[in-house]
Each structure stands twice: as C-alpha cells, then as structure tokens.
Amino acid sequence: MTLIFQPLAFWPLAFFCLAPWAFVVCRIERAWIAHWASYLAGVVFFLINLSWLSPVTFEGYVALCLYLAVFWPLAAWALRTAWRLRIAPVWTLPFVWVATEYLRGTLMTGFPWLFLAHSMAAQPAFIQVSDITGAYGVTFLLAMCNGAIATWPLTRSRQATTRPARRQITFGAVLVVALLVANVWYGAQRMRHAVLDPGPTVAVVQEDFPLYSDPAKNAPAELIFARYLGLAAEAAKGHPDLLVLPETPWSMAQNADFIESTHRVEPLLDAYRRYGRLYHAATAAFARGDYKT
C-alpha cells in the first residue's frame, strides 16, 4: 500500500492493494493471528510513510505510528465478523475502511493523512465526486474494488458453502464497474462544464528548513528570515494580490508598539527586542516594495 503514495505514487495499485490483506484476514482461522498481523502491518505502513517525522521527534513519531496502527486490527475484526455472517468483503470493506479513516481523522483532533483516496490526487476526473462526498467517497470506491477482488477467491474456497453465495461476486463486480464508470463520467462532466471566476493571484512561499524539538539544532533565526525574505521578493515580482508565508520565518515580534516599549521588556530579553526591531524594519520595507532590504 505504501507504493500508492509519494514518492512513487503508483496510483493503479490503489484498486487492489488491500485485497490480499482482506482475503487473508477472512481466511485465517485464528482471530488473534489476523488481528496481530494486521496491527504489525499497520505499524510498518505508518513507520515507512511518516518517517519524515523522526528528525523532529523520534519518540513522538514511534508513538503516533503505534497508535494509528490500531485501526487496522479494528478493520480486520469487522471484516471477519461480517464474513462469518455471510457478508462478503465487496460489501463490507468499503464501509469498514471509510469508517476507520473517519475515526483516524477525527479522534483526538484527528490525523487525516494517508487516506486511500489521497493516492488519486493526480487523477482529477476520478476525484471530482469529492465535491459531494469528500475524500471518503473516493476511498469508498477504491475499497469496493479491493473488496470485489478479495471476494472472488473467497467464494471459491472450500468454505464457500457456509459463506456468502458465489453470486455475490458477480453482482458485486457488476456494481463496482458501474460505479467506476459513473464516477469517471461525473468527473469528466464536472471538468468540462466547470466555470472559473476570476480571482486574486496568490503566491505561496515555502522553504525547506529542518525543524527539531531542540532549538539548538535549528538553523539560525536570522538565516531563516533572510531566506524567506529573499524568496518573497522573488515572488513579489509577479505582482500577486496575496503573498502567503508559513509562520516559521517570524520568530520575532512584529508589533511595533510592543517593540518600542522597552520598559515592558525584561533585561534578559533585550536581544529579543533588538532583533524584533530589525525584523519589523525589514518586513515593513518589504511591504513598501523595497525588495533589496
């Protein structure tokens, strides 16, 4: 499943990347093996795809991955329970996976990253349905494809006589194809008839400074500010209506009244005041169009 996300972004794999897992989860006899294997698979998945967090906070990175992986065995439990009730993954997997993504994206402020739908970001016709359903609608379609693929071998196993009827795969496959065709048709229509109103020109400036929980490891504040000011000056040459920067360049106070009120600043923070004056002067000059500052 990692292959469907950046940097490889092999999006066709999103249509069947969950199918082997769903098949094994439903076929395996011992529940504890299915649940623990699912949890370990989730841990590995998040450790790989969230590795960029490790330089900032390694302990937090590991803890987050261990927490996010919990939703995988929950999904495995739901699939196995439905399969025992003669309900095939083609019907359960889309609802189960959407539910786990929703919970992961909302509980404890949420972490709505690495959704199955996000793999289709470069396929605009496929994701136009998001204007109605959000990313969850795209996830639903992809998960249903995975469920249909997983159902096919399951209904041909020796246990099929006590499991969902084989006709489920036929009806499910037809429905999946119909939904995919309808989704792409809707996306094409939306893109063809989209009306774009003229709006403001926005320039977004973003550098790539590593951030660490230990301030001593970060780049000097003066360097960060100077680099961003230079990039902003380059972007301003295009005369944008709005220039957007992240919060990280502004490590000093920008309030002129506060900066001038020296009696409000403790002696130990005098350096903060002096740097704040310089930052404020540079920002004000930039706002006036003096891009050489």
Which of residues 61 and 253 earns the better pLDDT score? 61
pLDDT for 279 beyond 80: no
Band of the pLDDT at 49, cuts 50, 70, 90?
Answer: very high
User: What does the block give as tokens for 267?
Assistant: 């002696």
192, 216, 234: which is the final residue of a domain? 192
131 and 231 in a common domain: no
26 and 141 in a common domain: yes
Q: What is the mean pLDDT of residues 245-250?
A: 74
165 and 70 in a common domain: yes
Over residues 115-167, the pLDDT tens digits come to: 999 999 999 999 999 999 999 999 999 999 999 999 988 887 645 544 456 67
Rounded to the nearest integer, the mean pLDDT of the chain is: 85
Q: Is residue 122 part of a domain?
A: yes
208 and 186 in a common domain: no
Rounded Cα distance between 170 and 166, Å, is: 7
Q: Which residues touch 290 (CB under 8 Å, ≥6 apart)?
A: none
Which of residues 271 and 239 earns the better pLDDT score? 239
112 and 210 in a common domain: no
Short-list 98, 184, 114, 187, CA closest to 146: 98
Q: Write b or e for each residue in 193-221: b if 16 or more Cβ atoms lie within 10 A of its Cβ, otherwise e.
A: eeeeeeeeeebebeeeeeeeeeeeebeeb
130 and 11 in a common domain: yes
| DSSP single-letter state for residue 31 | H
Contacts from 122-128 at CB under 8 Å and sequence distance 24+?
122/9, 122/11, 123/11, 124/187, 124/191, 125/184, 125/187, 125/188, 125/191, 126/183, 126/184, 126/187, 127/187, 128/186, 128/187, 128/190, 128/191
Number of neighbouring beta carbons within 10 Å of residue 226: 13
pLDDT value, residue 167:
75
pLDDT value, residue 188:
94
Rounded Cα distance between 82 and 185, Å, is: 32
Beta strands in 71-217 (DSSP E): 202-204
pLDDT value, residue 185:
97
Q: Flag the least confident range among 75-79, 86-90, 154-158.
A: 154-158
146 and 47 in a common domain: yes
User: What does the block give as tokens for 247?
Assistant: 């919060």
137, 170, 192: which is the final residue of a domain? 192
Domain count, the chain: 2
pLDDT for 79 beyond 60: yes
Q: Is residue 32 part of a domain?
A: yes
pLDDT value, residue 230:
87
Specify the amino acid at residue 200.
Answer: P
20 and 85 in a common domain: yes
260 and 187 in a common domain: no
Which of residues 280 and 218 earns the better pLDDT score? 218
219 and 129 in a common domain: no
Q: What is the mean pLDDT of residues 198-203?
A: 89
- How far the first Cα of the chain sits from its last, in Å, is 48
Q: What is the mean pLDDT of residues 267-278?
A: 54
CB 169 within 8 A of CB 148: yes
User: What does the block give as tokens for 6?
Assistant: 């950046």
Q: Flag the least confident range among 47-56, 96-105, 119-128, 175-184.
A: 47-56
158, 192, 226: which is the final residue of a domain? 192
233 and 179 in a common domain: no
pLDDT value, residue 194:
74
Band of the pLDDT at 32, cuts 50, 70, 90?
Answer: very high
162 and 17 in a common domain: yes
Q: Is residue 197 part of a domain?
A: no
Say whether 203 sits in a helix, a strand or coil. Answer: strand
Rounded Cα distance between 122 and 208, Å, is: 23
What is the residue range of 282's domain? Answer: 202-288
pLDDT value, residue 111:
94
